Structure 1
């Protein structure tokens, strides 16, 4: 389609050549089949030497008198066709590609936003778990301290109780040993006093005298 439009534009440019333009002098041929050999020889100097006052390669300026309505309409139609072709075959794919790129960029931005939100949620969840673990650790440490204090109190109470029991047993044993010693001492003293009294008075004491003498001796010892 684009090639055909370019061909049409080329044709329009060719059609713009002014009427009555001189033909190529080398395109004429002689009747005998020779391509202007003699004519070329006769006019060789004219072909290779420009006329005086006409610069070689000079572009002819545009003359408003040469303007043609049909050529303008034809060129305008060709321009519209070219514009339509470009719109369909070039602008459309470009716009589609730009839309697809914009959609991909928008999707990437949305995916990045979703990933950011998900990362923030995961970070918040991990932070909450970390706080929970720290709270649990603090609770465990507090419970361990409470258990240690309770165990310490129990150990101290048990030690105090055991020491009190040991002290009481020692006191009881001391009192019992003292009582035994005193009983033994009283028996020994009463026997010695009785023997001494009998030896002094020269006769044996009866049970009543013996008990009275023992009571008097114990009374004197208790005063000491």
Structure 2
């Protein structure tokens, strides 16, 4: 961009320099004509009219020297100004390109870091979600274990109560039967007038139960 501007600027400078060199070549035609026109202009000026300037023409030798000076000027300009100017513009353009490339590289690195941090953030969120879910599952398992254990304890207590009731019932029945046996034996002995054996006692009990 800067180089293109410089390329456009140099022809414009050369054209201005050429015009400056050639303008002196445009002079009056000859002194006598110029002097005549001066007197003629003075006469008309006294009468209130506008004076006309002398005619101009191109002087060849002065134009030649002007062209030579212009060429020399271009050579000096190319050697003293054009080269350093282009070199400076190239360095400046290279610096700008380097700065742009560095900025793009920094942007790329920043984007990569941002992507990396976003990935780590997603992983952390996933890990936290998994930990929360695992904690919920542990709490549910613990709660279920507590409920199951409580139910087992209740069932065990119920079974023990049933066993205790059955045992108490059996004990009570055994005591009742023993008492009945003694009463029956005593009554039978009074009726029969003799002591009865265990066989007689068992037979009497069975007969009483069969009648019931």
Same fold (TM > 0.5): yes
Asked if 1:121 is matched to 2:116, the reply is yes
Q: Distance in 2 between matches of 1:173 and 1:101?
A: 106
Q: Distance in 1 between matches of 2:179 and 2:55?
A: 164
Asked if 1:186 is matched to 2:173, the reply is no
- Residues 96-148 of structure 1: CA distance to partner in whole angstroms, max 9, x if unpaired? 33332222222111111110011011111211222222233333333333333
Structure (1 or 2) with the greater helix fraction: 2
Give the alignment partner of residue 132 of structure 2, picking from 127, 132, 137: 137
Matched-pair contact (CA < 8 Å) for 2:18–2:67: no
Map of 1:56 onto structure 2:
52
Map of 1:39 onto structure 2:
none
Map of 2:163 onto structure 1:
168
Q: Distance in 2 between matches of 1:160 and 1:175?
A: 22
Secondary structure of the corresponding residue to residue 136 of structure 1:
helix
**Cα pair distance change 1:170/1:61, threshold 3 Å:** farther
> Which 5+ residue runs of structure 2 have no aligned equivalent?
1-16
Map of 1:219 onto structure 2:
206
Q: Distance in 2 between matches of 1:10 and 1:190?
A: 165
Matched-pair contact (CA < 8 Å) for 1:12–1:74: yes
Within 5 Å, give how 1:189-208 maps onto structure 2: 189-195=184-190, 197=191, 205-207=193-195
- Give the aligned length: 190
Which structure has the greater CA radius of gyration?
A: 1
Q: Distance in 2 between matches of 1:145 and 1:166?
A: 31
Matched-pair contact (CA < 8 Å) for 1:186–1:218: yes
Map of 2:8 onto structure 1:
none
Q: Distance in 2 between matches of 1:121 and 1:131?
A: 15
TM-score of the two chains, using structure 2 as the length reference? 0.66
- Residues 194-214 of structure 1: CA distance to partner in whole angstroms, max 9, x if unpaired? 34x16xxxxxx343x476764
Give the alignment partner of residue 77 of structure 2, picking from 82, 85, 92: 82
